[in-house]
Amino acid sequence: MNIQKVRSIIELIRRKGKLPKDAYGQIMSVDDLMGWFGLIECLTPGEQMYIRKELAAMIEAELSLERLKMSEQIRSSMS
């Protein structure tokens, strides 16, 4: 596995900002993101596994931030 290649790809995805969403406004699944970014064709199976774990963590973090923002909005509207 080329760790530098994997790190560069992860950094590129992070620099793009928020993860892409589907037609229903939900963050795409890991499999969909792999296809969206064209990663399946250019990565070895080991690199794909590593990127999949990173994408799953990025999805979880982004969802947590969205929930936090929503709870802050609710609290500020109640004040």
Tens of pLDDT, residue by residue over 7-51, are 999 999 999 999 999 999 999 999 999 999 999 999 999 999 999
Range of the domain at 69: 3-14+26-78
- Residues 34/40, Cβ–Cβ less than 8 Å: yes
pTM of the predicted structure, to 2 decimals: 0.85
Domain assignment present for residue 20? The answer is no
The confidence score (pLDDT) of residue 71 equals 83
Domain assignment present for residue 8? The answer is yes
Question: And the tokens for 57?
Answer: 């963590």
The torsion of the CA quartet 12, 36, 47, 57, rounded to 10 degrees, works out to 70
The confidence score (pLDDT) of residue 79 equals 66
Domain assignment present for residue 40? The answer is yes
Q: What is the pLDDT of residues 61-72, one digit of tens each?
A: 999 999 998 888
Domain assignment present for residue 44? The answer is yes
Domain assignment present for residue 31? The answer is yes
Element holding 7 (H helix, E strand): helix 3-15
Number of domains comprising the chain: 1
The confidence score (pLDDT) of residue 5 equals 93
Domain assignment present for residue 57? The answer is yes
